Copies of this chain bind each other. A is one copy, B any other.
């Protein structure tokens, strides 16, 4: 750990453009640094083509077009909701995989929406103007209002412009408030499942191997976007180079890193370290135990809990390693040094002098945050009310009340820009399993009572004289929200329909809503408002000192990262960057999760065992980059990002160039799989994997 730390100190002290590190917005790519580091000349045309070939999966992933007919390559784990939607006890697509041999066989994924970033507009000056001179609470409200107004105006303008067509306009906060942008997306809401391999080969090694390397995972899936019932025309798409990259070759990742906290202050990290991470870890760890035990009750229980179990295990591993990273006292020391240095710079420079000390202001707000955190998390963030059914009820209740208000005074998740996706999620044919819903709701109600206390007035109001188990059973048995048609009717019926509904879950959500809104308002006023205002001041100081050599924290918006294929030294032992197919068969034990599926056992004689399987690179990626294309200097796809190594998890807080590695599926194994294992001839031809 000592060695890492020394490098960390360098990073934080200097923060120049470093090789490999950084998640760069496409309009601020450090082309000179790339030229210098790798000798690759990046042009605007190259960037535009890559941007328009990259897609965002609204659920939290990335993908890329790899054919002119709207074919999207992404990860198997990004297609899980689609596989689950079409699974039954008789046909488990998550376990068994899926292949549409013809386009009519492609399966509509009703919860999916795919976005392509077609424009970016800097609106920082407009936001600054709207909040100028306001106190922190008023500024916080005004800031949200102007962002909603800007989004609305952008969408209205696009709708009127015959060249643009309808767009989704979303505001983006970069550098913790240093910049505000509008990101403009062309969206596709007709997304269909084309191909997925078996879970056992997609996630070979399962949870034990998750975030490990070397790996042998065919973590791929193919989707297709449709327009007007036909495969969409996608002239911007990536050519696949099935030979893949060489060791050391420069490679680029285009994708949507979800969230990092590299620019947070020490006091903000302390809230994460002492409160958020431990509490979330405890809750998820217990939930994992409940899921695992539930799965042992039978094959059907195992099937329905598999997807949520995967999610909770992934989250546990991430948070566990994040907590380890936060326990490095040197991280905090380095943060404080950077703060001192910026503070000194601010004092010296007349333009940067501000009233008060923004770090101290954040410190005071974080003390308030820590006092409110548990209640806010359980009541407003719904840690106390788990499950899809409750989520539906909450969305119906909140959505009905919010839609009755003018657009720019609504909670930001219910603005006109967001409503189509909210409705789509509500109306999607998401499977609901009552036994699982009872487990989740009872678990969360029990923990609500534990963390707020059995004598808390809100808890008593929710539970009355019932036990968490009894209440959850009564609510799940009594609700009709498992039916998408019921949800759609309630949504479309608006506030009257929801208010008069006698559905017991809707009633509970109504009961919870006032307290949840009050807690949220207090959090916004006492935490979010001062933190945002102070963070804007710090961001201005950072810009002054570092100019454009600084990249913003990840915000699930499109970023480019540059790096190279390579392994690393683990405890002094080299980890090579490529794995090959032969080792998959050697590593198999025959027992889950090291089980090779029958299709791969059958095809083995025909396969080239020297085929590269997975590869590692030093690209700077985090969750949300899943499914990102890895491209070479020509812009050809040479890998499909699906994971990072264990050191990459600390990337939430800092980038470690020595050890942080991204992990991708090699295109050669994609060709081998499609042509020889799954005999998906038409698809193979479509992406150039076969004649």
> Which residue numbers of A lie inside 8 Å of B, CB to CB?
205, 207-209, 212, 273-274, 278, 281-283, 285-294, 296-297, 316, 320, 323-324, 327, 439, 443, 449-450, 453-454, 465-467, 469-470, 589-592, 594
Which B-chain residue is minimally distant from A205 (CB atoms)?
B454
Cα–Cα, bound, A592→B278 (Å):
28
Partner pick for A290 among B209, B293, B454, B592, CB 8 A cutoff = B293
Instruction: Show 23 A/B contacts (Cβ-Cβ < 8 Å), sorted by A.
Output: A205-B454, A207-B450, A208-B450, A209-B454, A212-B453, A274-B324, A278-B278, A278-B281, A281-B282, A282-B316, A285-B285, A286-B286, A289-B290, A289-B291, A289-B292, A289-B293, A290-B290, A290-B292, A290-B293, A296-B469, A465-B589, A465-B591, A466-B589
| Bound Cα distance from A205 to B287, whole angstroms | 23
Tell me whether B289 and A327 are in contact (CB under 8 A): no
Q: Which residues of B contact A287 (CB under 8 A)?
A: 289
Residues of B within 8 A of A288 (CB): 286, 289
**With A281-B282, A465-B589 already in contact, 6 other A-B pairs whose C-beta atoms are closer than 8 Å:** A278-B281, A281-B285, A282-B320, A285-B289, A292-B443, A465-B591
A301 CB to nearest chain B CB (Å): 10
Inter-chain contacts of A285 with B (CB < 8 A): 281-283, 285-286, 289
Count this chain's copies in the assembly.
2
Instruction: Decide: A594 and B454 in contact? CB cutoff 8 A.
Output: yes
A453 contact set on B, CB distance < 8 A? 208, 212
CB of B450 within 8 A of CB of A591, answer: no
Shortest beta-carbon distance, A299 to chain B, in Å? 14
Cα separation A292 to B293 with both chains bound (whole Å): 9
On whether the beta carbons of A465 and B208 are closer than 8 Å, the reply is no
Please indicate which of the listed interface residues A286, A469, A591, A592 has the most CB atoms of chain B within 10 Å of its own CB: A286
- Assess the B282–A592 pair: CB atoms within 8 A: no
Interchain nearest-CB distance for A380 vs B (Å)? 21
A293 to B440, CA, bound (A): 11
Specify which chain B residues have a CB less than 8 angstroms from the CB of A449 in the assembled complex: 208
CB-defined contacts of A208 to chain B, threshold 8 Å: 449-450, 453-454
- With the chains together, A212 CA to B450 CA distance in Å? 11
Chain B residues with CB under 8 Å of A443's CB are 289, 292
Interchain CA distance A615-B297 in the complex, whole Å: 44
Residues of chain B contacted by A209 (CB below 8 angstroms) = 454
Question: Closest CB-CB distance, A413 to chain B, in whole Å?
Answer: 30
Closest residue of B by beta carbon distance from A469: B296
Chain B residue, CB-CB nearest to A283: B285
Task: Give A453 to B211 CA distance when docked, in angstroms.
Answer: 11
User: Which of the residues B205, B273, B289, B469 comes within 8 Å of A286, measured between beta carbons?
Assistant: B289
Q: Which of A285, A293, A466: most chain B Cβ within 10 A?
A: A293
A205 CB contacts on chain B under 8 angstroms:
454
Residue of B nearest to A466 (CB): B591
Q: Which residue of B lies closest to A297 (CB)?
A: B297
Name the CB-closest residue of B to A326.
B274
